[in-house]
Amino acid sequence: MSSRQKADHGSEAAVTIYDTTLRDGAQGENVHFSLPEKLRIVQKLDEVGVPYIEGGWPGSNPKDLMFFQEVSRLSGRMSRIVAFGSTRRASLSVEQDPQIRMLLDAGTETVAVFGKTWLLHVRKVLRVTPEENLAMIRDTVAFLKACGKEVIYDAEHAFDGYQDDPQYALDCLAVASEAGADWVVLCDTNGGSLPERVAELTRLTRQKVRSRVGIHTHNDGDLAVANALAAVQAGATQVQGTINGYGERTGNCNLISTIANLEIKLNRRALPPGALARLQELSYFVDEIANLAPNPRAPFVGRCAFAHKGGTHVNAIGKVFRSYEHIEPEIVGNRRRVLVGELSGRSNIVLKARELGLVLREDDPRTREALQQIKAMEGKGYEFEAADASFELLLRRLLLPYPSFFQLVEYHVSIRSFPGKEYEVSEATVKLSVKGRTVYTVAEGDGPIHALDQALRGGLERFYPELARVGLRDYKVRILGQMGGSGAATRVLVESSDGLTSWTTVGVSTNIVEASWEALVDSIEYWLLRLERSSGAPRSPTS
């Protein structure tokens, strides 16, 4: 059975995906979600068809109750929202325990509670007897069932607990199941288990309990996904994880990789038809909301996942598409990329140019010249892999020299702080030559780059009024190389948009303002050039 066949379901049991990006994922370093952001993520997950979404832990973060209130107002939702909590406190009855009360106040159909499975924790962290812990599990699950909830029981430290005292761990699982838990989820809370151990306990649990069995892994051993797949193959039918693997320490099981593997390699349905092709979109969406840079090397959905650099590979790819790709990129919403870089051969340039709609032959001397220019600029820090628009301008300047739309005469940027005041003022003046005329503009901004951008556009918009549609969407700065002082080369990537499409340009200099200037100028030139090409005639600036 070729691994390349489209997901062909029906032969194996479906797997239920349980997303805890908003709860466990939010425990990751540098991951925070505001309430509106959480709601946007819920909507996206629901659209894609994720069946369970764990939204928060009201007993630990009381403001999570607001999330549950708001999310219940979202209409047309199919996913089940889950409130998370823990077994009752030792000293309280379940009815008296305020955090159980808050769990109920969340008003969800489904709740998830975690309890101790490891004697070490029972004795040293909870400081109760083994029997008391069992009672805590039993009382909590039974109570929540009696309240009409679907109950998911998370057995914390299941694998460490089983290793330490197998009988006690199984007793904990059995008690939860007998009390009515709809699911018993084995959690590798420390994240250090190996797939064989995970499969073993999963198999055993399936034999011992009536509840359906789930798996919740962490990536401390770099094996979170492997462990989840091993559990599924041993009979688990629920996988808990997060989008992009966010979470405490090294993160949770990455649902993106897991869903892709389940559907494409193991023939298990995990999401509704059509969802698989939205995996990259889902991955980027959550990264954007979390304000985290996407991992370019992320399996399946990363920008590099189907990016080919070495000359041999690119040559072969041209011949047989399956050669160096384990699946077709489009299956998960990704696409093939040919990288232009140091190891590039001319075939890379030709293929890249073709991607951009330019016809270029390998034996054309300009191809070699383009390659040399690219290598020289990359040596200085330019990065064309992300800055497609700058690369396209480079090729166009070589192949189809175009008249310049404007030229810089000079610019001046000034930042001044004020004694005793909490603000500073950034001002930029830009002097341009546009079709023989001198234009001199001044503008202020929130910072030097903003001021420069405003001044540049202010000067050009009277000549090219369409520029009003173009705006900066994103701006990335990277200092290249270690530093002695702030003197290392700075690379700036600017993403611009006209509301319909977006494009990225690059600039490099030891001076961040100069690097930004380069990227801004490329951005505007690129768009004006495109405007000219689509109108069919060279643009003369409005006088």
Minimum Å gap between C-beta 274 and a copy of itself is 22
**Residue 326 or 366: which CB sits closer to a copy of itself?**
326
Residues facing 97 on adjacent strands: none
> How would you classify residue 430: left for phi > 0, otherwise alpha for psi between -120 and 50, otherwise beta?
beta
The residue ranges of DSSP E strands in 278-330, in sequence order, are: 307-308
Minimum Å gap between C-beta 434 and a copy of itself is 15
**Residue 130 or 299: which CB sits closer to a copy of itself?**
299
**Residue 147 or 425: which CB sits closer to a copy of itself?**
425
* Alpha-carbon gap, residue 357 to 366, rounded angstroms: 16
Minimum Å gap between C-beta 242 and a copy of itself is 12
Which DSSP letter does residue 323 get? T
**Residue 489 or 531: which CB sits closer to a copy of itself?**
489
Minimum Å gap between C-beta 190 and a copy of itself is 4
**Residue 182 or 248: which CB sits closer to a copy of itself?**
248
522 phi/psi in degrees, rounded to 5: -55, -40
**Residue 54 or 180: which CB sits closer to a copy of itself?**
54
Amino acid at 281: E
* Alpha-carbon gap, residue 51 to 31, rounded angstroms: 23
User: Locate tokens 């989840």: which residue?
Assistant: 228
Amino acid at 153: Y
Structure tokens at 223: 């094996």
* Alpha-carbon gap, residue 115 to 513, rounded angstroms: 55
Minimum Å gap between C-beta 161 and a copy of itself is 12
Structure tokens at 402: 């175009």
Minimum Å gap between C-beta 336 and a copy of itself is 10
- Packing angle of the helix pair 388-399, 365-380 (nearest 10 deg): 140
Minimum Å gap between C-beta 390 and a copy of itself is 16
What's the Cα-to-Cα distance from 392 to each of 201, 287, 453, 526, rounded to whole Å? 55, 27, 22, 8
**Residue 291 or 540: which CB sits closer to a copy of itself?**
291
